[in-house]
DNA sequence: ACCTGAACACCGTTCAAGT
DNA sequence: ACCTGAACACCGTTCAAGT
């Protein structure tokens, strides 16, 4: 990779971080303008908007990935999953574009070529697997399922400030995903 | 309302039904073209895309609304809610644009001026209220909450043919919304 | 009172022309 | 090898001019 290309890449990421943080015009063109590069350059470095967004929030993604073994080492599987999902939700609350990218990519992972999404999915897969082994998640549930169900929670927080509602919905989801330990006599699937 | 205006309205609805059924170009312009009217005319009759879509599927909406008392008359609250939601999902599966409109409007009901959405919300509110009175739904849950959580299920079916996955996710949601009758000793909220 | 359709202000994406 | 930015093909929306 040539040095000017490398430099442009960094400038794009910087400009993107600024533009995405400020609400308002978040078009790819405005990012290119702010970075002082042509639209073609931006498009070549990042083949899709989602690819760019995941790179911009690369640190947050890394943090989520490395947190998995720590959480699993110190907490029971069910709680580890819960804490990790809360952290994921917080990232989406801080950076609405991250939430948007997650929703889009979860809906159609194959179409957007975002390899930065794969580690996140892998991290969640580990948590799901451990929970399945422990019998603390409804069997058959995949990481994609969890992300799909989580999607609406980001949209609620992006609009208004009703954090209470978001928490309530999260509890509802978790109750569905991880049949409560107090209901051991119902082996998941015996509901009328 | 003048007779030609009334006629145009009907022609738009007919053309919209055809265009929305066929996959491909579903732009408002293509609907206006097919109906043989100007874009301005379409836009005046239906102030938003969602308003048009809800009118096109008005019969389905009516069917859902009138089904509520029938279901509540013949089934226990929990099952009535379940059957109604399954029917709602089926409508979205048959008409992807209906599903899209639901997701959009549920995310920001105030912004899109769609009065055709209100009866649907009212119907579901009735079901939720009856379930809350019967103690068969997690307290504090609103009709908007249910629709919000239901959103992702439409997107999964629109893409691929994995009906099994959709069913699985639906069971998960319902488990979260309606804490199982087999776990009566856990009064909703005692999870670790 | 209602309709028309050109015109406007945006997207994302591409690609010939440059360095 | 990489960059530029005009150009393209689309959106939805508006509004002066017509009937």
Model confidence at A140: pLDDT above 70 = yes
Q: What is the pLDDT of residues A109-122, one digit of tens each?
A: 777 768 889 999 99
C-alpha to C-alpha distance for B97 and B158, rounded to whole angstroms: 10
Q: Are residues A32 and A62 in the same domain?
A: no
The answer on A93 and A29 residing in a single domain is no
Distance A38 CA to C15 C1' (A): 13
- One domain, residues B71 and B95: yes
SS3 content of chain B, % helix, strand, coil (to 5): 75, 0, 25
B179 contacts on A by Cβ (under 8 Å): 175, 180
Give the SS3 label for residue B109.
coil
Clarify whether residues A21 and A72 are in a common domain: no
Q: Among B141, B182, B186, which would you mutate to test the A interface (most chain A Cβ atoms within 10 Å of its Cβ)?
A: B182
Q: Which two tokens stand for residue B159?
A: 């893409």
User: Cα distance from A76 to chain B (closest Cα, Å)?
Assistant: 11
**Nearest protein residue to C5's C1' (by CA)?**
B38
Q: Concatenated DSSP letters for B43-104?
A: HHH-SSHHHHHHHHTHHHHHHHHHHHHHHHHHS-HHHHHHHHHHHHHHHHHH-HHHHHHHHH
pLDDT confidence bin for B135, thresholds 50/70/90: very high
Whether A111 sits with its Cβ under 7 A from any strand C atom: the answer reads no
Distance separating alpha carbons of residues A164 and B110, to the nearest angstrom: 20
Indicate yes or no: strand C within 7 A of the C-beta of A155. no
Residues of B with a Cβ under 8 Å from any A Cβ are 78-79, 107-108, 138, 140-141, 145, 148-149, 151-152, 155-156, 159, 165, 168-169, 171-183, 185-186, 189-192
CA separation, residue B61 to residues A87, B24, B72, B142 (Å): 38, 24, 18, 19
**Cα–chain-centroid distance for residue A109?**
12
Q: Nearest Cα to A154, choosing from A83, A116, A108, A104? A: A104
Nearest C-alpha neighbor of A28 from the set A9, A12, A7: A12
Q: How far apart, in whole angstroms, are the C-alpha atoms of residue A90 and residue A88?
A: 5
Domain interval for residue A163: 56-177
- pLDDT, position B158: 65
- Least CB–CB distance from B180: residue in A159, A174, A183: A183
Nearest C-alpha of chain A: how many angstroms from B37? 32
Residue-wise pLDDT tens digits, B91-132: 999 999 999 999 999 988 777 768 889 999 999 999 999 999
Q: Which two tokens stand for residue A99?
A: 């939430």
Does B189 have pLDDT greater than 90? no
Per-residue pLDDT tens digits for B34-83:
999 999 999 999 999 999 999 999 999 999 999 999 999 999 999 999 99
Same domain, A83 and A163: yes
Domain-located, residue B171: yes
d(CA B108, CA B110): 6
The reply to whether A38 has its C-beta less than 7 Å from any atom of strand D is yes
B31 and B81 part of one domain: no
DSSP-derived letter for residue B123 is H
B181 band by pLDDT with thresholds 50, 70 and 90: low
DSSP B181: G
- Residues A19, A83, single domain; the answer is no
Segment A9-35, tens digit of pLDDT: 999 999 999 999 988 889 999 999 999
Q: Do the domain assignments include residue B51?
A: no
Residues B116, B166: Cα–Cα separation, whole Å: 26
User: Any idea what the CATH number is for the domain that residue A159 is in?
Assistant: 1.10.357.10
Does one domain contain both B145 and B98?
A: yes
The CA-CA-CA angle for residues B39, B45, B49, to 5°, reads 70
Structure confidence at residue A185 (pLDDT) = 36
Check CB contact under 8 Å for A176 and B180: no
- Spell out which residues of chain B touch residue A172, defining contact as CB-CB under 8 Å: 138, 141, 145, 149, 176-177
Note whether A129 and A37 are same-domain residues.
Answer: no
- What pLDDT score was predicted for residue B156? 84
Same domain, residue pair A60 and A32: no
A91 and A13 in a common domain: no
Q: What is the pLDDT at residue A156?
A: 84
The token duo for A29 is 């063109």
Count of positions (residues) in chain B: 192
Calpha distance A142→A152 (Å, rounded): 18
Domains in chain B, number: 2
Q: For the whole model, what pTM was predicted?
A: 0.91
Question: Is residue B147 assigned to a domain?
Answer: yes
Residues B173, B134, single domain; the answer is yes
Displacement of CA A37 from its chain's centroid (Å): 28
Is residue A108 included in any domain, yes or no?
Answer: yes
Phi, psi of B24 (to 5 degrees): 135, -130
In a domain, B127, yes or no: yes
Residue B132 belongs to some domain of the structure = yes
Q: CATH no. for residue A26?
A: 1.10.10
């Amino acid at each position: 990779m040539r040095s000017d290309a490398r430099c442009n890449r960094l400038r794009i990421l910087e400009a993107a971080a600024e533009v995405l943080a400020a609400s308002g015009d978040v078009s790819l063109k405005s990012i290119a303008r702010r970075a002082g590069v042509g639209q073609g350059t931006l498009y070549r470095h990042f083949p899709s908007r989602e690819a760019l967004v995941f790179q911009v929030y690369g640190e947050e993604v890394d943090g989520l990935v490395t947190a998995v073994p720590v959480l699993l080492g110190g907490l029971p599987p069910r709680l580890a999953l819960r804490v990790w999902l809360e952290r994921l939700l917080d990232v989406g609350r801080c950076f609405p574009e991250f939430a948007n990218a997650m929703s889009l990519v979860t809906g159609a992972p194959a179409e957007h070529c975002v390899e930065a999404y794969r580690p996140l999915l892998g991290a969640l897969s580990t948590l799901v697997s451990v929970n399945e082994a422990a019998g603390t998640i409804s069997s058959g549930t995949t990481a994609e399922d969890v992300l799909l169900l989580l999607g609406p929670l980001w949209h609620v927080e992006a609009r208004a400030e009703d954090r209470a509602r978001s928490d309530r919905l999260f509890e509802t989801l978790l109750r569905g995903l991880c049949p409560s330990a107090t209901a051991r006599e119902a082996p998941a699937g015996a509901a009328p």
